[in-house]
């Protein structure tokens, strides 16, 4: 399915960005924000891959599970993007970008729970 492939592709990009930010954090002065951004990208890239695998096995409700996967993409991008922008540009993406991203990630985890509860048996 095209949406599953898109989610997997985005997870790959998030994983690559996570590794790059981890390297930048390790070699940069006062780059703790980048370490946090890296962790969020890597963790949620893995969550996207797991979610799409569970969808393919029929263990999650399709539409709800897919919404969770793209919520992980959106939330992690907002959160990590905001921290990275603060590190390199000295300002945020927009007011409350990181907290909004964090809230979207929390909601996406709860959405995975819902997708598991309403999956076809």
Judged against a pLDDT cut of 70, whether residue 121 lies above it is answered with: no
Condensed to tens digits (0 to 9), the pLDDT of residues 101-120 reads 999 999 999 999 999 999 77
The pLDDT of residue 23: 96
pLDDT by residue (tens digit) across 25-74?
A: 999 888 899 999 999 999 999 999 999 999 999 999 999 999 999 999 99
pTM of the model: 0.94
Q: What DSSP letter does each residue of 65-76 carry, written as one string? A: HHHHHHHHHHHH
Hey, what are 116's tokens? 């598991």
Instruction: Supply 4's token pair.
Output: 């599953």
pLDDT for 109 equals 98
Give the model's pLDDT for residue 119: 75
Taking residues 93-108, what's their average pLDDT? 98
Cα–Cα distance, 26 to 80 (Å, whole number):
16
- Of 64, 65, 105, 47, whose CA–CA distance to 81 is shortest? 105
């Amino acid at each position: 399915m095209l949406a599953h492939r898109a989610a997997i592709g985005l997870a790959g990009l998030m994983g690559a960005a996570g590794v790059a930010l981890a390297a930048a954090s390790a070699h940069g002065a006062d780059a703790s924000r980048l370490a946090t951004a890296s962790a969020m990208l890597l963790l949620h890239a893995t969550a996207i891959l797991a979610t799409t695998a569970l969808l393919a096995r029929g263990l999650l409700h399709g539409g709800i599970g897919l919404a969770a996967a793209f919520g992980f993409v959106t939330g992690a991008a907002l959160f990590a993007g905001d921290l990275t922008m603060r590190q390199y540009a000295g300002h945020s993406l927009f007011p409350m970008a990181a907290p909004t991203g964090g809230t979207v990630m929390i909601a996406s985890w709860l959405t995975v729970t819902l997708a598991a509860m309403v999956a076809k048996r």
